[in-house]
Amino acid sequence: MSPPAPHSPAHDEEGAPRGAWARAWPHLLLLPFTALTLVPALWVVKMALRPAQSFDLSLSPLPEAWSLSNFEAVVGAPLFWRQAFNSVWVSALTTLVGVLFSATAAYALSRYRFPARRAALGALLVTQMFPGTLMMIPLYYLVDALGLLNEVAGLVLVYSATAVPFCVWNLKGYFDTLPREIEESALMDGAGPVALFWRVVLPLSRPALAVTALFSFMTAWNEYILAATFMSDERAYTFPVRLQQYVGEFSAEWGYFAAGALLVSAPVMALFFALQRQLVGGLTAGGVKG
């Protein structure tokens, strides 16, 4: 047996678990979920690589025939680049707006005690509770009333509003754990609320911000119902709307759909790898005694 590796201290990124059992149990726990995660994902890959549009029912993870034709067709479709760009643009803006607003709101909710605080926290949850189908129409009117139909801004606004509640809850939980003395230090150093927030709180919250950003991004990135509702110009469509048309009411081109889905997921993957480094914890280590 290899020697035991003790519980590693905060800045020890390379420690190893203690003993065989400790090494094994995380795997055992992750196994069923990884399967439930990966099997469908492999299916998607296979369907994307199969030069056919029908649904594939075999359990084999390898396609019988190989081809990139699905990808070519999806990429070659008119407006593909335009819609892909829309998606990226909308998602990026949503991430920005969502993170910005949820970070500020969460910070206010975490640090300040103001009259409607609890009410605000509750109100934020209300949105999450109604079925999307129901909210869609009032949202349509709101966006219309704001003159933002067919505008990227309208979509971004609605997506952020969708993502913000959860992000706020999440970030607030994180902010609550930041040591206040560090902020007090900054106050003593002459920082106003803005400098405090931008230069001290946000940098320390990178792991939570990264999760929040991912969540916001994915909210916007995969959504098609609202996008299809608010956008009545195909040039304004986001890519998921287009993608959904492959399995839309009048068709089911699974091959294209799968290829498109893989294309859609690529940027998220990229984002994940970009953010991965931010997601390591222990950022506050060393700030205060102990």
Partner 1 sequence: NALGCAPGEAGAPGGAGAGGGGRPPIRLWHAYRGEERAALERAARRFEERTGQAVSTLALPYSAFPNKLQAAAARGNGPDVFIFAHDRLGDWAAAGLVEPLGFWVSADERAALLTPTVEALEHEGNLYGLPLSCKTLALFYHRGLVPAPPSTTDALWAAARGARAAAAAAGATPPWGLAAPELSSLYFHAPWLHAHGGDALDLEGRAGAAVASARYLRARVEEGLVPAEVNGALASELFRGGRLAFLVSGPWLRGDLAGFSDWGVAPLPTLSETGRPLAPYLGVEAVMMSSRARDPAGALALMRALAGEEEARARLAAGQLAARRAPYEEPGALADPWLRAFRAQLERAAPMSGAPAMRAAWTPLQRALSSSVVYGESPEVAFEEARRALAASLRESSLGDSAEGGR
Partner 2 sequence: MTSVSLNGVSKRYPNGHEAVRAVDLDVAPGELIALLGPSGCGKSTTLRMVAGLEEITAGELRIGGERVNERAPKDRGVGMVFQSYALYPHMTAFDNIAFALTLQRLPAAEIEARVRDVARRLEISDLLPRRPKQMSGGQRQRVAIARALARRPRVLLFDEPLSNLDAQLRAQMRVELSRLHAELGATSLYVTHDQVEAMTLASRVVLMRAGVVQQVGAPLDLHDHPRNRFVARFIGSPAMNLWRGRLEAGAGAGEAGAGEAGVGEGAAVVLGAEAGAALALPLPPAARAALAARPALPEALEVGVRPHEVRLGAPAEGAWRAVVEVVEALGGESLLHCVALSAGGAPAGVRVVARVEGRPPAARGEVVGLSFPSSALRWFWADEEGESLT
Binds 154, which of partner 2, its own copies, partner 1, none (CB < 5 to 8 A, cut-off by type)? none
Which amino acid, residue 57? Answer: L
Choose among 104, 70, 289: nearest CA to 193: 104
Q: Does 179 bind partner 2 (CB under 8 A)?
A: yes
Q: CB of residue 161 vs partner 1: minimum separation in angstroms? A: 17
Which residue's CB is nearer to its own copies, number 236 or number 244? 244
Cα separations (Å) of 49 from 36, 43, 59, 181, 258?
21, 10, 15, 55, 8
- The CB-of-146 to its own copies minimum distance in angstroms stands at 10
Task: Quote the DSSP letter at residue 4.
Answer: P
Sign of CA dihedral 156, 157, 161, 164: positive
CB of 93 closer than 8 Å to CB of 213: no
The pair of three-digit structure tokens given for residue 207, joined into one six-digit string: 């792991």
Amino acid letter, residue 231: M
* Residue 7 touching partner 2 (CB under 8 A): yes
**Residue whose C-alpha is closest to residue 235's, from 141, 143, 152:** 152
| Contacts (CB under 8 A) with partner 2, residues 194-223 | 195, 199-200, 203-204
Q: CB of 82: closest distance to its own copies in angstroms?
A: 20
Question: Which residue among 79, 135, 195, 202 contacts its own copies (CB under 8 A)?
Answer: 135
Between CA 55 and CA 279 the distance in angstroms is 37
For residue 63, give Cα distances in angstroms to 34, 58, 156, 170, 250: 22, 9, 38, 41, 26
Question: Residue 161 touches which of partner 2, partner 1, its own copies, none (CB < 5 to 8 A by kind)?
Answer: its own copies
Instruction: Out of 4, 55, 203, 234, point to the residue binding its own copies (CB under 8 A).
Output: 55
Q: Where along the sequence are the contacts to partner 2 (CB under 8 A)?
A: 1, 3-7, 9-15, 18-19, 179, 181-182, 184-192, 195, 199-200, 203-204, 282-290
Q: Where along the sequence are the contacts to partner 1 (CB under 8 A)?
A: 51-57, 65, 69, 73, 76-79, 133, 136-137, 140-141, 144, 149-150, 224-225, 228-229, 232-235, 241, 244-253, 255-256
